[in-house]
Amino acid sequence: MATPTIPHITILGSLNTDLVAYVPHHPLPGETLTATSFLTSPGGKGSNQAVACAKLSRPRSLTSPSAHVSMVGAVGSDPNGTLLLTNLTSHGVDPSLVSTLPGTKTGIAMIVVEAETGQNRIIISGEANHQVDESFLTKGNWLEKTDMLIMQLEIPMGTVLKAVEEAKKRGVDVLLNPAPAKKLPGSVYEGLKHLVVNETEAAILGDVDEEELDTLEGLERVGEKFGGMGVENFIATLGGRGVYYLTKDGKKGLVEAERGVKVVDTTGAGDTFVGRYALDAAAARKEGKEFDIEGAVKKANKAAAVTVQREGAAASIPWRDEVE
Ligand code: ATP
pLDDT in tens, 153-177: 999 999 999 999 999 999 999 999 9
Please classify residue 260 by burial: count the beta carbons closer than 10 Å to its beta carbon, then call 0-12 exposed, 13-18 middle and 19+ buried: exposed
- Asked if residue 196 lies in contact with residue 243, where contact means CB atoms within 8 angstroms, the answer is no
Cβ atoms < 10 Å from Cβ of 219: 23
Instruction: Give me the amino acid identity at 136.
Output: F
C-beta 196 within 6 A of ligand 1: no
* Residue 47, pLDDT score: 98
* Residue 311, pLDDT score: 86
CA of 313 from ligand 1 middle (Å) equals 13
3-state secondary structure of 134: helix
* Residue 4, pLDDT score: 63
CA of 23 from ligand 1 middle (Å) equals 20
* Residue 3, pLDDT score: 58
* Residue 1, pLDDT score: 46
Question: Rounded to an integer, what distance in angstroms lies between the CA atom of residue 82 and that of residue 77?
Answer: 8
Interface predicted TM-score of the whole assembly (ipTM), two decimals: 0.97
How many residues in the chain? 324
Share of the chain above pLDDT 70, in %: 99
Does the pLDDT at position 75 exceed 80?
yes
- Asked if residue 217 lies in contact with residue 190, where contact means CB atoms within 8 angstroms, the answer is no
Q: Which atom of ligand 1 is nearest to the CA of 305?
A: 30
Does the pLDDT at position 118 exceed 90?
no
pLDDT digits (tens, 9 = 90+) for 41-66: 999 999 999 999 999 999 998 889 99
CA of 240 from ligand 1 middle (Å) equals 6
Question: Rounded to an integer, what distance in angstroms lies between the CA atom of residue 141 and that of residue 163?
Answer: 13
The mean pLDDT of 197-222, rounded to a whole number, is: 96
CA of 269 from ligand 1 middle (Å) equals 5
- Asked if residue 312 lies in contact with residue 306, where contact means CB atoms within 8 angstroms, the answer is no
What's the mean pLDDT when you consider all of the chain? Answer: 95
The mean pLDDT of 214-223, rounded to a whole number, is: 97
Question: Rounded to an integer, what distance in angstroms lies between the CA atom of residue 306 and that of residue 52?
Answer: 12
Distances (CA, A) of 257 to 237, 268, 297, 300, 313: 10, 16, 11, 10, 19
Q: Which atom of ligand 1 is nearest to the CA of 238?
A: 10
78 flagged as catalytic? no
Bridge partners of 21, per DSSP, are 38, 112
Cβ atoms < 10 Å from Cβ of 66: 17
Catalytic residue among 147, 173, 271, 280: 271
> What DSSP character marks residue 308?
T
Residue nearest to atom 8 of ligand 1 (CA): 270
Which residue of 204, 258, 265, 266 sits with most ligand 1 atoms within 8 Å of its CB, as the best mutation to test the pocket? 266
Q: Which domains does the chain have, with CATH numbers?
A: 8-323 (3.40.1190.20)
C-beta 70 within 6 A of ligand 1: no
